[in-house]
C-alpha cells in the first residue's frame, strides 16, 4: 500500500524530500503520506470536536437528532472540554521537558551529574537576578541550587502564582490578574484541567476556555520559559552560528547518526563526544571516514543553536531520512517521534534506539541514557552506531544532494548583541526601526508540518510574502527548519527578498530577515523578545500593543494548541493555517476567534491559505501601528533624549 493517489510533488515542497518520497514508493515503504491516504475521510465528529468519550455512558456524538450526550452535555461543553484537554496535553509535554532540565540543574549543583556542568555562568547569574536570588560573592553551584529549588516550586506551587510570570511586563501581569488567569503551580494547573474536564464537573464552555488560557500560560511563561532558561544555563546561550540543513548533510562515507525528539541532554553530550579522536579512530577502523551527527525536529534545533550541528530534517522528514539507506542509528527521546520508525527501518539497516524510560516503542532497541555517566554513555552509543556501518547496503543508499547553508542561534541575548554591539546590547535599534516604519512589525512563524497539506508550502509562501513586506520573521520548531531548507536563514536572503526597509536593517547588522530562535519550547524566547520590545519603550506598555503576530501554519501537535493559547493570552494575535477541532460549537469558535480579544487584546484567526494569512497579518500590524500613531513611514533619524521622552521612553 505504499502507492497513493497524490503525486509526491503534491505532497512535499523540497527536492530532497521529493527524491526520498519517490524512493520510498519504489521500495514499497509506507510513510505518513500513504497512511494519511488510508485514513481518508477522517471522522467529522472528531474534526469538529463533538465526539465525547470521557465517560463510559458514551462515546457520544452530537448530531441534529441527538444534540445532547447521554449525560446532557451539549456541543459547547464537549468542544470546550476537548479543547482544554488538548491545551493540557501540550502544556504537560513542554513542562515535563522543563522539569527534567531543572532536575538536571539541581543534580549538577549537587555534583551528582558527572559530565554536565554549568556552561553559561552568566546566564545563571542573570536568571538568579530575575528571581532575586543573592548571587554576588557566591559560588555558581550554590546559586544554581537556589535557582533550581525556586523553579521546582513553580511546578508544585498550590496557591501561589508562578514566580516566572513576574518576568512579563507589569501591565501584562495586571491583565492576567484582572482576568483571573494567572496560573498557580504548573502541575496543579494540569491536574485541575484534567479534573475539570472529566464527566460531570465543569460544563460552562467559557469557564473551560478560561482554564485553557490559564493552563497555557503555565506552559509559555512557566514550563517552556523555564526549559529555555535552564537549557541556556546548562548548555550555553545560543549565539549566531553557521550550519546546513536538509538530508544532503548526511555523509556518503561517514557513519550517520541522527538524534530526534526534544530533550537536549543526550544530543548535547553526543555533540561533544563526536569530537573525541578515539571515536574517529573507531569509525576509521570500521571502514568509514568519520562520524556525522545530525538532527531531526527540535533536537536538531537545540544542537544547531549551540553547536552548529546540521539539521537533517523536520518532523515529516523523519521517515525519509531512514529511506536514504545511509543512517546507521536514529536516537529518539520524547515527542514527535513516529511509532512507524521501526517499520520504516525494517527495509534498511538503521537501528532505532530509544533512550527514555517514558518513551518506548515496540520493535525499537531501548538503551537508557545514564545521566550520571553522560559522556561515557554517549560514546557507547556512537560506537554501537559505528558497529552497524558494516550492514549498510550500498544498493539501497541514495543521499539527496540538497543541503542549504544557514545562520541560526538567535537567542534574545544574541539579538540584543547583534543589534547594539557588546557594550550597548539592546533592543533599541529594533524598536526604532519599527517606529520609523523600516520594519512593519515582528511575526513569529512556528510549529510543525502536517501531511494534510503540502509540506512546507504554506510556511515558505507566507514567510516570503512577509519578508517582502518588511516584516521581521522569528522562527522556531519545524517552521524554522522549513526556512532553513529554503535558504531564508542566510543574511543574503535579505538582499534578495526583503522589502527596502527590512533589507536596510538586515544589511546594517548583517542578519538574515528570518531569525531562527530555537526549538518549540523556545517559543518562550519570542515572549521574551516581545517583553524586551515593551520594556525598551515607545511601542506600548503591554504586549498586545506592539505590532506583533504569531502564526502556526502547518501545525499538528497538541503543543501547538497550547502555544497558540499562551500567545493569545499574552496579547499576540494568532493565525492558524490548520483549523482547531472546534467547528461543532459556534460559541467556542466565536469566543476564541472574537471575544478573547476583549480580555487579552488578541484572538485567533483561521486563514487556510498563505495569501489570506499575509493579508490578515498586514491588516493587524497596520491597525496596531495606527493605534500607536506610527503608521506613516518616517524619515530615518537618530533619536535624541527629547524624542525619547516624548515617546514616553
* Interface contacts to ligand SF4, rule CB under 6 A: 52-55, 57-60, 69-71, 73, 78, 199
Positions 259 through 278 that interact with ligand XCC (CB under 6 A): 262
Least Cα distance to 293 among 321, 323, 334, 335 occurs for 321
Distance of alpha carbon 444 from alpha carbon 345, whole angstroms? 35
Q: Exactly one of 312, 336, 526, 574 binds ligand XCC (CB under 6 A); which one?
A: 336
* Closest approach of ligand SF4 to the CB of residue 50, in Å: 9
Least Cα distance to 250 among 56, 81, 400 occurs for 400
* Closest approach of ligand XCC to the CB of residue 505, in Å: 27
Nearest to ligand SF4 of 54, 87 (CB atom): 54
Instruction: Determine the distance from the C-alpha atom of residue 376 to the mean position of all C-alpha atoms in its chain, rounded to a whole number.
Output: 30
Instruction: Measure the N-to-C terminal CA separation of the chain; round to a whole number of Å.
Output: 63
Indicate which of ligand SF4, ligand XCC, none lies near residue 70 (CB less than 5 to 8 Å, by partner kind): ligand SF4
Nearest to ligand SF4 of 71, 397 (CB atom): 71
* Closest approach of ligand SF4 to the CB of residue 421, in Å: 59
Indicate which of ligand SF4, ligand XCC, none lies near residue 105 (CB less than 5 to 8 Å, by partner kind): none
Nearest to ligand SF4 of 57, 615 (CB atom): 57
Indicate which of ligand XCC, ligand SF4, none lies near residue 613 (CB less than 5 to 8 Å, by partner kind): none
Indicate which of ligand SF4, ligand XCC, none lies near residue 55 (CB less than 5 to 8 Å, by partner kind): ligand SF4
* Closest approach of ligand XCC to the CB of residue 457, in Å: 16
Nearest to ligand SF4 of 62, 341 (CB atom): 62
* Closest approach of ligand XCC to the CB of residue 49, in Å: 20
Residue 131, SS3?
coil
298 binds ligand XCC (CB under 6 A): yes
Q: Exactly one of 176, 315, 410, 600 binds ligand XCC (CB under 6 A); which one?
A: 315
Indicate which of ligand XCC, ligand SF4, none lies near residue 448 (CB less than 5 to 8 Å, by partner kind): ligand XCC
Nearest to ligand SF4 of 53, 252 (CB atom): 53
* Closest approach of ligand XCC to the CB of residue 283, in Å: 28
Nearest to ligand SF4 of 199, 286 (CB atom): 199
* Closest approach of ligand XCC to the CB of residue 188, in Å: 24
For 403, half-sphere exposure in the C-beta direction (CA atoms, 13 angstrom radius) is 17
Residue 329, SS3?
strand
Indicate which of ligand XCC, ligand SF4, none lies near residue 447 (CB less than 5 to 8 Å, by partner kind): ligand XCC
Other beta carbons less than 10 A from residue 383's beta carbon? 18
Taken as a whole, the chain contains a residue count of: 649
Distance of alpha carbon 357 from alpha carbon 333, whole angstroms? 9
Distance of alpha carbon 392 from alpha carbon 390, whole angstroms? 6
Give burial (CB, 10 Å; 0-12/13-18/19+) of 504. middle
* Strand ranges of the sheet holding 329-332, from the earlier edge strand across to the other edge: 365-366, 351-354, 329-332, 255-260, 291-296, 311-313, 241-245, 404-408
Distance of alpha carbon 278 from alpha carbon 123, whole angstroms? 32
Q: What angle do CA 600, 645, 171 make, to 5 degrees?
A: 20
* Closest approach of ligand SF4 to the CB of residue 196, in Å: 13
Query: β-strands 241-245, 404-408: how paired?
Result: antiparallel
Indicate which of ligand XCC, ligand SF4, none lies near residue 59 (CB less than 5 to 8 Å, by partner kind): ligand SF4
Indicate which of ligand XCC, ligand SF4, none lies near residue 52 (CB less than 5 to 8 Å, by partner kind): ligand SF4
* Closest approach of ligand XCC to the CB of residue 441, in Å: 23
Distance of alpha carbon 547 from alpha carbon 34, whole angstroms? 41
**DSSP E strand stretches across 498-554:** 514-516, 548-552
90 binds ligand XCC (CB under 6 A): no
* Closest approach of ligand XCC to the CB of residue 635, in Å: 40
Helix (H), strand (E) counts: the chain:
29, 16
* Closest approach of ligand SF4 to the CB of residue 81, in Å: 8
Indicate which of ligand SF4, ligand XCC, none lies near residue 359 (CB less than 5 to 8 Å, by partner kind): none
Binding letters toward ligand XCC, positions 546-585, x by CB under 6 A = -----------x-x--------------------------
Question: Measured between alpha carbons, how far is residue 327 from residues 294, 303, 336, 603 in Å?
Answer: 10, 18, 19, 43
Nearest to ligand SF4 of 207, 634 (CB atom): 207
Query: 406 pairs with which residues across the strands?
Result: 243
Indicate which of ligand XCC, ligand SF4, none lies near residue 339 (CB less than 5 to 8 Å, by partner kind): none
Q: What is the DSSP letter of 455?
A: B
* Closest approach of ligand XCC to the CB of residue 647, in Å: 36
520 binds ligand XCC (CB under 6 A): yes
Indicate which of ligand XCC, ligand SF4, none lies near residue 315 (CB less than 5 to 8 Å, by partner kind): ligand XCC
Q: Find out whether 568 and 602 touch, Cβ atoms under 8 Å.
A: yes
Nearest to ligand SF4 of 57, 646 (CB atom): 57
* Closest approach of ligand SF4 to the CB of residue 77, in Å: 8
* Closest approach of ligand SF4 to the CB of residue 211, in Å: 17
Least Cα distance to 536 among 391, 634, 401, 644 occurs for 644
Phi, psi of 255 (to 5 degrees): -75, 125
Least Cα distance to 80 among 195, 202, 179 occurs for 202
Q: Find out whether 120 and 246 touch, Cβ atoms under 8 Å.
A: no
Question: Measured between alpha carbons, how far is residue 131 from residues 56, 307, 316 in Å?
Answer: 46, 28, 39
Question: Measured between alpha carbons, how far is residue 351 from residues 257, 433, 568 in Å?
Answer: 10, 50, 42
Indicate which of ligand SF4, ligand XCC, none lies near residue 297 (CB less than 5 to 8 Å, by partner kind): ligand XCC
Q: Find out whether 243 and 311 touch, Cβ atoms under 8 Å.
A: yes
Question: Measured between alpha carbons, how far is residue 407 from residues 442, 448, 504 in Å?
Answer: 19, 20, 18
Distance of alpha carbon 498 from alpha carbon 504, whole angstroms? 9
Nearest to ligand SF4 of 55, 272 (CB atom): 55
Count interface residues toward ligand XCC (CB under 6 A). 13
Nearest to ligand XCC of 173, 453 (CB atom): 453
* Closest approach of ligand SF4 to the CB of residue 48, in Å: 15
Q: Exactly one of 105, 168, 434, 478 binds ligand XCC (CB under 6 A); which one?
A: 478
Distance of alpha carbon 158 from alpha carbon 294, whole angstroms? 41
Query: 359 pairs with which residues across the strands?
Result: 356
Nearest to ligand SF4 of 208, 534 (CB atom): 208
Interaction site with ligand XCC (CB under 6 A): 262, 297-298, 315, 336, 447-448, 477-478, 519-520, 557, 559
Amino acid at each position: 500500500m505504499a502507492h497513493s493517489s497524490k503525486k509526491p510533488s503534491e505532497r512535499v515542497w523540497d527536492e530532497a524530500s521529493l527524491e526520498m518520497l519517490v524512493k520510498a514508493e519504489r521500495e514499497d515503504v509506507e510513510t505518513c503520506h500513504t497512511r494519511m491516504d488510508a485514513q481518508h475521510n477522517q471522522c467529522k465528529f472528531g474534526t469538529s470536536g463533538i465526539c465525547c468519550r470521557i465517560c463510559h455512558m458514551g462515546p457520544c456524538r452530537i448530531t441534529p437528532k441527538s444534540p445532547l450526550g447521554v449525560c446532557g452535555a451539549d456541543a459547547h461543553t464537549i468542544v470546550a472540554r476537548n479543547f482544554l484537554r488538548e491545551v493540557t496535553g501540550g502544556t504537560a509535554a513542554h513542562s515535563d521537558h522543563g522539569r527534567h532540565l531543572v532536575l538536571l540543574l539541581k543534580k549538577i549543583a549537587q555534583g551528582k551529574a558527572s559530565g554536565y556542568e554549568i556552561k553559561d555562568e552568566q546566564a545563571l547569574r542573570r536568571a538568579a537576578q530575575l528571581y532575586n536570588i543573592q548571587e554576588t560573592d557566591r559560588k555558581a553551584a550554590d546559586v544554581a541550587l537556589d535557582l533550581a529549588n525556586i523553579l521546582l516550586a513553580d511546578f508544585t506551587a498550590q496557591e501561589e502564582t508562578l514566580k516566572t510570570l513576574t518576568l512579563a511586563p507589569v501591565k501584562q501581569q495586571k491583565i492576567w490578574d484582572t482576568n483571573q488567569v494567572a496560573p498557580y503551580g504548573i502541575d496543579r494547573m494540569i491536574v485541575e484541567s484534567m479534573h475539570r474536564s472529566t464527566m460531570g464537573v465543569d460544563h460552562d464552555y467559557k469557564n473551560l476556555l478560561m482554564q485553557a488560557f490559564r493552563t497555557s500560560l503555565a506552559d509559555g511563561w512557566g514550563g517552556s520559559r523555564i526549559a529555555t532558561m535552564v537549557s541556556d544555563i546548562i548548555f550555553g546561550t545560543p549565539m549566531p552560528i553557521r550550519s546546513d540543513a536538509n538530508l544532503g548533510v548526511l555523509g556518503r562515507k561517514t557513519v550517520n547518526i541522527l538524534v530526534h525528539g526534544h530533550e537536549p541532554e543526550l544530543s548535547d553530550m553526543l555533540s561533544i563526544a563526536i569530537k573525541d579522536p578515539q571515536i574517529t579512530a573507531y569509525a576509521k577502523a570500521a571502514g568509514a571516514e568519520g562520524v556525522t551527527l545530525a538532527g531531526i525536529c527540535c533536537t536538531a534545533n537545540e544542537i544547531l543553536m549551540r553547536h552548529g550541528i546540521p539539521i537533517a530534517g523536520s518532523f515529516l522528514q523523519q521517515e525519509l531520512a531512514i529511506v536514504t539507506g545511509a543512517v546507521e542509528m536514529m536516537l529518539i527521546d520524547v515527542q514527535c517521534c513516529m511509532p512507524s520508525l521501526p517499520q520504516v527501518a525494517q527495509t534498511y539497516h538503521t537501528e532505532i534506539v530509544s533512550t527514555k524510560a517514558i518513551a518506548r516503542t515496540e520493535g525499537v532497541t531501548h538503551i537508557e541514557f545514564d545521566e550520571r555517566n553522560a559522556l561515557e554513555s554517549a560514546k557507547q552509543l556512537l560506537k554501537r552506531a559505528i558497529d552497524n556501518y558494516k550492514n549498510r547496503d550500498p544498493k539501497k543508499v541514495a543521499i539527496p544532494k540538497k543541503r542549504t547553508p544557514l545562520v541560526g542561534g538567535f537567542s534574545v541575548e544574541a539579538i540584543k548583541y547583534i543589534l547594539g554591539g557588546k557594550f550597548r546590547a539592546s533592543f533599541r535599534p529594533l524598536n526604532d526601526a519599527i517606529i520609523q516604519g523600516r520594519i512593519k512589525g515582528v511575526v513569529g512563524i512556528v510549529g510543525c508540518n502536517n501531511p494534510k497539506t503540502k509540506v512546507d508550502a504554506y510556511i515558505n509562501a507566507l514567510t516570503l510574502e512577509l519578508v517582502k513586506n518588511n516584516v521581521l520573521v522569528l522562527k522556531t520548531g519545524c517552521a524554522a527548519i522549513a526556512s532553513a531548507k529554503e535558504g531564508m536563514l542566510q543574511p543574503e536572503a535579505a538582499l534578495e527578498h526583503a522589502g527596502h526597509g527590512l533589507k536596510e536593517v538586515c544589511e546594517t547588522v548583517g542578519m538574515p530577515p528570518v531569525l531562527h530562535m530555537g526549538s518549540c519550547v523556545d517559543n518562550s524566547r519570542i515572549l521574551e523578545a516581545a517583553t524586551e520590545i515593551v520594556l525598551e519603550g515607545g511601542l506600548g506598555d503591554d504586549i498586545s500593543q506592539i505590532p506583533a503576530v504569531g502564526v502556526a501554519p502547518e501545525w499538528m501537535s497538541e503543543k501547538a494548541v497550547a502555544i497558540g493559547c499562551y500567545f493569545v493570552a499574552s496579547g499576540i494575535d494568532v493565525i492558524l493555517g490548520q483549523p482547531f477541532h472546534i467547528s461543532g460549537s459556534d460559541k467556542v469558535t466565536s469566543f476564541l476567534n472574537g471575544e478573547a480579544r476583549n480580555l487579552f487584546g488578541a484572538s485567533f484567526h483561521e486563514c487556510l491559505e498563505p495569501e489570506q494569512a499575509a493579508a490578515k497579518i498586514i491588516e493587524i500590524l497596520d491597525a496596531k501601528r495606527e493605534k500607536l500613531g506610527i503608521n506613516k513611514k518616517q524619515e530615518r533619524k537618530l533619536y535624541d533624549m527629547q524624542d525619547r521622552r516624548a515617546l514616553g521612553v
